[in-house]
Amino acid sequence: MSGKVYLVGAGPGDPELLTLKAARLLAAANVVLHDALVSDGVLALISPAAEVINVGKRAGRKLLTQDEINSLLVSYAQTCQTVVRLKGGDPTIFGRAGEEIEALRKAGIEYEIVPGISAALGAAATAGISLTDRRVASQILFTTFSRGSDGSVMDWGCVTSTTTLVLYMPGADYAEVSDRLLAGGLPADLPCVIVSRASGFEQQVRWSSVARLASEERLPAPALLIVGRVASRDVAEISASFWDRNRRDPSGERRSVS
């Protein structure tokens, strides 16, 4: 009889941010296949009797292809009762869970998704900001930074003055990120914040702006970039400036936002 695969969110790093269900499954798992950036504190919760396999990537080099990971999940589920696929943050946000789910469905393997605190929420909590501060933000856009020619796929038309833009995996070249944001029409003085290793002992927070980002020193991975008015240390001041630029002029027309 086949076992069951659990796609588990490891959260941003702090093991105390795991769900109770995630912790219980790690303690009971027969096999755990985990990403490279899952924290040591979370890995320490895995049963000593479990087989633990690192299937992540370091410095851009993959230990296994996604097809190989899919095959391992199917193979282990055919011989083990509890198989955990452990992913940083939440498994359904930039975790390639869709491909693994498809492989499990085709093989007739039972699976379950166990949500985790996403990297975006962990980074926002570390920086002490609200991603949807109603004074300055009306929407959030989660995306990854695509380098080279792939950058053209970004639909900048959906990014407004009240968008909080969350960039996963901004990489090491912040200058390229800055150039792309400026080319997309974002103001040079728009606040942003880089959060590295959110919720861990080595977490770092660096406040910047779209233009200054180009000269910022690289922070250790995993890192995440939050761009928007919410990324200001003084949201009240940003909010007042925003409303001032959007008030109606004497002609009754609404002023545009820079």
Tokens encoding 8 = 């588990």
Whether residue 25 is predicted with pLDDT greater than 50 in this model: the reply is yes
User: Cα 213 to the chain's mean position, in Å?
Assistant: 19
* Active-site residue set: 35, 57, 169
> Can you point out the beta strands (E) in 35-109?
51-54, 57-58, 61-62, 82-87
Question: What residue type is assigned to position 186 of the chain?
Answer: L
Whole-number pLDDT of residue 29? 98
Return the pLDDT at 242: 54
Residues with Cβ < 8 Å from 172, sequence gap 6 or more? 218
Angle (CA) 29-34-36 rounded to 5° is: 155
254, two tokens = 């609404």
pLDDT value of residue 63: 80
Q: What is the pTM for the complete model shown?
A: 0.85
For residue 31, give the nearest of 13, 65, 54, 11 by alpha carbon: 54
Residue 38 near residue 32, CB atoms below 8 Å = no
Structural domains of the chain ordered from first start = 4-117 (3.40.1010.10), 120-246 (3.30.950.10)
Q: What Cα–Cα distance (Å) separates residue 199 from each residue in 12, 164, 204, 228?
A: 6, 21, 9, 21
**Euclidean distance between CA atoms 75 and 52, whole angstroms:** 15
Of the candidates 145, 97, 139, 101, the residue with the CA atom closest to the CA atom of residue 118: 97
Q: Per-residue confidence at 153, pLDDT binned at 50, 70, 90?
A: low
- The reported pLDDT for the residue numbered 61 is 66
Contacts (Cβ under 8 Å, ≥6 apart) of 203? 13, 126, 195, 196, 197
What whole-number distance in Å separates Cα of residue 147 and Cα of residue 159? Answer: 18
- Condensed to tens digits (0 to 9), the pLDDT of residues 161-182 reads 899 999 998 988 999 999 999 9
